[in-house]
Amino acid sequence: MSPAVLSLTALRKSVPGGRVLFAGLNLEVAPGEIVAIMGESGVGKSTLLNLIAGLDQADSGGVAIDGVALESLDDDGRTRMRRDRIGFVFQAFHILPHLTLAQNVALPLVLQNLNAAEATSRAMTILDSIGLPGRAGDRPSQLSGGELQRVALARALVHRPALVLADEPTGNLDPETAARILALFVAEVRGSGAAAILVTHSERAAAVADRSLNLTRDGLVHAG
């Protein structure tokens, strides 16, 4: 078995008020594996994603990506880890309104200091493949929600991350669009060979994952 893309060890996190969100949380995600994480509102699903992305820090325990412990990195190191190894898809899309679609998608590449021409060309390729051919120069305001989430998916994958973190990617979409986006998500992630963590409320969404886990106070337990 190849080494885990992500491994969480005895993770414990509490909110500023002192309430413990979870403790003793362990998880190993293999390359190419899609893991769905479910749970009730407020249980800390987004917080867990922030911990994995190095955007927040656990009380104790360890987060390792490609075998590198995030605790051993400073903020710059964690930032570079996100930039190089992680892709993000958000519920609210977070597509920058004053950039073109290609520029939005190319952002992770230019942040890696790839030159603008190369970055936009790669962005256009991936925009074609996710069903937005010829729209590279459009502005986000001309797009529907589903289209915006396609752009977000392209942005998450454009720099060939090892791990994609998706936080309720279909939460803002109508059921029909949500299904289409979910299928696209699975297909594209699998196509890229990346592993993915998919945080969702939706059973249907969870069903597409290789593994489906429930987040509780005591950690992750197999769902269903």
Partner 1 sequence: MPAERRPLSRTALAWMMVGEWRAHPGRVVTAALAIAIGVALGFAVHLINGSAQNELAQAVRTVNADADLQVHATTPLGFDERLYPALARSPGIAAASPVVELSARFGTGPSRSLEGGGLTVLGVDPLRAATVTPSLLGRGAAPAAGAKGFVPESLFDPRAIVLSPAALSASGGKVGEVVTITAAGRTVDFVVAGVLSGAASDPQVAVLDIATAQWLFGSLGRLQRVDLKFASGANPAAVEAALRARLPADAQIVTAQSEARRGDNLTKAYRVNLEMLAMMALLTGGFLVYSAQSLSVARRRPQFALLRVLGLERRGLLAQVFVEGALVGGVGAVLGLGLGLGVAVGTLKFLGGDLGGGYFRGVSPDLVVTPLPILVFFILGLAAALLGSLLPALEAARAQPGIALKDLGDKNDPNAKPAAWWGFGLLAAGGAAAFLPAVGGLPLFGYLSIGLMLAGGVAAMPWLSRVLLSPLQGAGRRNVSIDLALKRLWGAPSQAAVALCGIVASTSLMVAMAVMVASLRGSVDDWLTEILPSDLLFRVESGGFDADTRARIAKAPGVRDILFQKTLPLRLSSDMPPLVLLVRPVDKARPDASLPMIGRILDAPDGVTPVWLSEPAARLYGREVGERMVLPLGGANPQVFVAGVWRDYARQAGAIAIDQSDYTRLTGDDLRTEASLELKPGATPAGAARAIRAALPPDQAAQVQFFETRQMRAIALRLFDSSFALTYALEAIAIVVGLAGVAATFSAQTLARTKEFGMLRHVGVLRRQIILMLAVEGGLLGAVGVIAGLGLGLAMSQVLIHVVNPQSFHWTMETRLPLPLFASLTVALIAAGAGTAVLAGRRALSADAVRAVREDW
Contacts with partner 1 by CB under 8 A lie at 46, 50, 53, 55-56, 75-76, 79-80, 82-84, 88, 90, 92-94, 96-99, 103, 107-108, 110-116, 119, 145, 155, 172
Whether the CA torsion 184, 188, 191, 193 is positive or negative: it is negative
Q: Report, in Å, the least distance between residue 215 CB and partner 1.
A: 17
Closer of 164 and 206 to partner 1 (Cβ): 164
In the complex with partner 1, which residue's Cβ is closer, 111 or 186?
A: 111
Minimum distance between the CB of residue 128 and partner 1, rounded to whole angstroms?
21
In the bound complex, what is the minimum distance in angstroms from residue 159's beta carbon to partner 1? Answer: 9
Choice between 10 and 96, CB closer to partner 1: 96
Least distance CB 100 / partner 1 (angstroms): 9
Q: Which residues contact 192 (CB under 8 A, 6 or more apart)?
A: 157, 160, 161
Residue 164 CB partners (closer than 8 Å, separation 6+): 86, 87, 88, 89, 156, 157, 189, 194, 195, 196, 197
Q: How far is the CB of 222 from partner 1 (least distance, A)?
A: 27
Buried b (16+ CB within 10 A) or exposed e, 167-199: bbbbbbbeeebbbbbbebbbebbeebebbbbbb
Q: Which of 57, 48, 85, 87 is nearest to 165 (CA)?
A: 87
Residue 163 φ/ψ, nearest 5 degrees? -140, 130
- Hey, which residues does 212 pair with through a beta bridge? 36
Cβ nearer to partner 1, comparing 71 with 84: 84
Considering the complex, state which of residue 60 and residue 144 has its C-beta at the smaller distance from partner 1. Answer: 144
Phi, psi of 109 (to 5 degrees): -70, -45
- For the chain, give the longest Cα–Cα distance: 51
Using CB atoms within 10 Å of the CB of residue 42, give its burial: 0 to 12 exposed, 13 to 18 middle, 19+ buried: exposed
Amino acid (one-letter) located at 110: V
Nearer to partner 1, 110 or 223 (CB): 110
**Least distance (Å) from partner 1 to the CB of residue 210?**
25
